Structure 1
Amino acid sequence: MIKRIHKLHSFIETIFHRQEYKNLKINLLEIEELIELGELIDLLSPFNKISETLSGETYVTSSLIIPGFKYIEKKLKLEQKDSDLVKNMKKIIREIFDEYSENYDLDKNPLLLAASFLNPFYKNFQFVTPSYRRTDYLKVAKGFLIDLFKTKRYDEQITKISKVKKNKEDILRKKLSFESESESDEEDVDVFDIKSELKNYLADPSNDDALIYWEKKQYQFPILSTLASVILAAPATSVPSERLFSHAGYQLWDRRNRLSKSNFEKIMFIYENFDL
């Protein structure tokens, strides 16, 4: 709203300077006030940017939470060029920001750190300063993934991906060796090594979008791709689900309540995926 006021102020001023409005007592913003308004817009813009980004639904957002907070933290640092107004505003916002960060312990949240790590763009935690702290973040993220793997909750899914890869490799090998595809070797015992996957993942220079990356690399990293499908599926905010419920309200209401569950789900699927 204040951004709109700031943008349209010159037009509003021009209109009220017309002869027919001369008798109206309207207090327009002074130049100093316009400057302060512009400073507030610049200060608050990063918050709007982060809010919109974290509310997205066509890309993974859980991996953006910690980088987003680090971005805000950077923007709240006092600078020599800041006016008194901006400095005071930054101090107030910083107090609230620090209290929130402390209450939720974001810097040490293993799930959020793992989510950022599983996004190829953020896996080295380059957004963390000072740089020596990146090792601590990396250690927590890797430790969380190793512990999650050790629970064996996802062994079945990991094994399934691994077998698909092995079958493809076996078919190609048999073709090149002129063997019959019906000839089957003794089944190998799969040995999964998450530490090896972590090492190779960090060495991989690919920097694709997280969704594209893990789809392409699922056979190379069966463990990490499986864990990524679980961790990165969680949205950063409730906005996507709120949008869905809002759209559902347009399809099912008190005068249109005879829709079957099946038809309602089909309508919602088409509505939400119309652009595909």
Structure 2
Amino acid sequence: MSEQLINDVLLHFVYDDTTRKAECNICRRLYQATSANLKRHLKHTPLPTITGEDWTFYVQLREILGPLKQVTDTMIGEKYFPGSYVIVITRCISKLLQRFFSRDDLLPLSREIILLLQSGLVDHFEQIERNETLALCTFLDPRFKMVPFDDQNEAEKTKERVTNMVAALIAESENTNALSKPSDTDDVTLECDSLWDSFDEAIKSSTLTPLSRATHEIDMYLFENHLRRKDQFGKLNCPLEWWKNRQTVYPNLSKIFINNCNIVATSGPCELMFSETGPIINQRRTRLTNIKMEQIMFLNVNSPEARFQEYDKS
């Protein structure tokens, strides 16, 4: 394959596309191109011969990089890319690369590219399941739970850690209730106490410990069916809505989810927010105060998009 041809074609397709995803579309456009199209696009450049092996390599390269493009599109397309996606997407990419590598028709150069990608995954994400924050986010995401974990030991460690967190919340709640509970002599008579004493003592002796109650709540959560990633209309389901509807069923797990699983996996939303301040802060609006600027950016980021559709039409 001619190195000059590769440079000419890639540079043409990169700089001919003004979108931010130009690099992701290079292989797809090369795959769709024909010799006639290339001659039309490169009519001022001598066109070397592209062999059948070269085109086969383009096709395989497009298949190999396809999942990475899907990840890029997902990160760009979603307003917030949750931390629970990191372990899931990493494992999905790793399994897809293994599937590609096991094919018998791969060219040597395609195998080399797959090995480089696998090496990068190992270098950056080999210990990703040991990250307690990301593991907790994945475990408490009703779409994933314990399924994405390749290392079941790490999955069990995460489950044990969540169990201890729930037990601590239950114990704290019981201590608070015990301190605020009125004495028995405030609202009942001696006769009533003597009548119900044996029953009350039996109930107290049969009360579950905080750890056993925490284990029961987590087992119920794991036993419930997973939340489908998309609904019947193809719209992405929201785990926040799922937890909102089940906060009375899993009161302690929902608190842990709200307090610990609100992180994002990429700084893209934050960088986009700062980029959008450019048109707002300019030489003609130098008297904007910091508080006013925060209010404008809050509305810009959090206002429902449907509110602005009628203005866009006009």
TM-score, structure 2 length as denominator?
0.64
Is 1:138 the equivalent of 2:155?
Answer: yes
Residue number in structure 2 paired with 1:242: 271
Alpha-carbon deviations, 1:135-162, whole Å to 9, x = none?
A: x24312222223444666xx68xx9xxx
Q: Are the aligned partners of 1:13 and 1:28 in contact in 2 as well (CA < 8 Å)?
A: no
Please identify the structure whose Cα radius of gyration is greater. 2
Is 1:86 the equivalent of 2:114?
Answer: no
Alpha-carbon deviations, 1:189-234, whole Å to 9, x = none?
A: xx96432221111122251531111111112111111111123210
Task: Give the alignment partner of residue 221 of structure 1, picking from 242, 247, 250.
Answer: 250
How many pairs are equivalent? 233
Is 1:43 the equivalent of 2:64?
Answer: yes
CA shift at 1:83, angstroms?
A: 2.3
**Alpha-carbon distance between aligned partners in 2 of 1:94 and 1:54, rounded to the nearest angstrom:** 21
CA shift at 1:67, angstroms?
A: 0.9
TM-score, structure 1 length as denominator?
0.71
Alpha-carbon deviations, 1:4-31, whole Å to 9, x = none?
A: 54155226236369xxx5x862336444
Residue number in structure 2 paired with 1:197: 217
Q: How does 1:110-125 map to 2 (within 5 A)?
A: 110-125=132-147
Letter in 1 for 2:103: Q
**Alpha-carbon distance between aligned partners in 1 of 2:256 and 2:224, rounded to the nearest angstrom:** 18
**Alpha-carbon distance between aligned partners in 1 of 2:227 and 2:59, rounded to the nearest angstrom:** 36
Q: How does 1:118-197 map to 2 (within 5 A)?
A: 118-125=140-147, 127-128=148-149, 133-134=151-152, 136-149=153-166, 193-197=213-217
Task: Give the alignment partner of residue 124 of structure 2, picking from 78, 81, 100.
Answer: 100
**Alpha-carbon distance between aligned partners in 2 of 1:220 and 1:60, rounded to the nearest angstrom:** 27
**Alpha-carbon distance between aligned partners in 2 of 1:247 and 1:236, rounded to the nearest angstrom:** 20
Structure 2 residue ranges without an equivalent (≥5): 1-22, 177-208, 229-237, 307-314
CA shift at 1:57, angstroms?
A: 4.5
Task: Give the alignment partner of residue 12 of structure 1, picking from 37, 60, 69.
Answer: 37
**Alpha-carbon distance between aligned partners in 2 of 1:203 and 1:16, rounded to the nearest angstrom:** 58
Calculate the aligned-residue CA RMSD, in Å. Answer: 3.2
Residue number in structure 2 paired with 1:32: 53
**Alpha-carbon distance between aligned partners in 2 of 1:194 and 1:229, rounded to the nearest angstrom:** 17
Alpha-carbon deviations, 1:101-128, whole Å to 9, x = none?
A: 34xx213222222211111121131x44
Q: Are the aligned partners of 2:79 and 2:269 in contact in 1 as well (CA < 8 Å)?
A: no
Q: Are the aligned partners of 1:62 and 1:112 in contact in 2 as well (CA < 8 Å)?
A: yes
Q: Are the aligned partners of 2:31 and 2:55 in contact in 1 as well (CA < 8 Å)?
A: no
Residue number in structure 2 paired with 1:169: none
Q: Are the aligned partners of 2:31 and 2:59 in contact in 1 as well (CA < 8 Å)?
A: no
Q: Are the aligned partners of 2:129 and 2:149 in contact in 1 as well (CA < 8 Å)?
A: no
Letter in 2 for 1:263: K
Residue number in structure 1 paired with 2:262: 233
Q: Are the aligned partners of 1:55 and 1:61 in contact in 2 as well (CA < 8 Å)?
A: no
CA shift at 1:267, angstroms?
A: 2.5
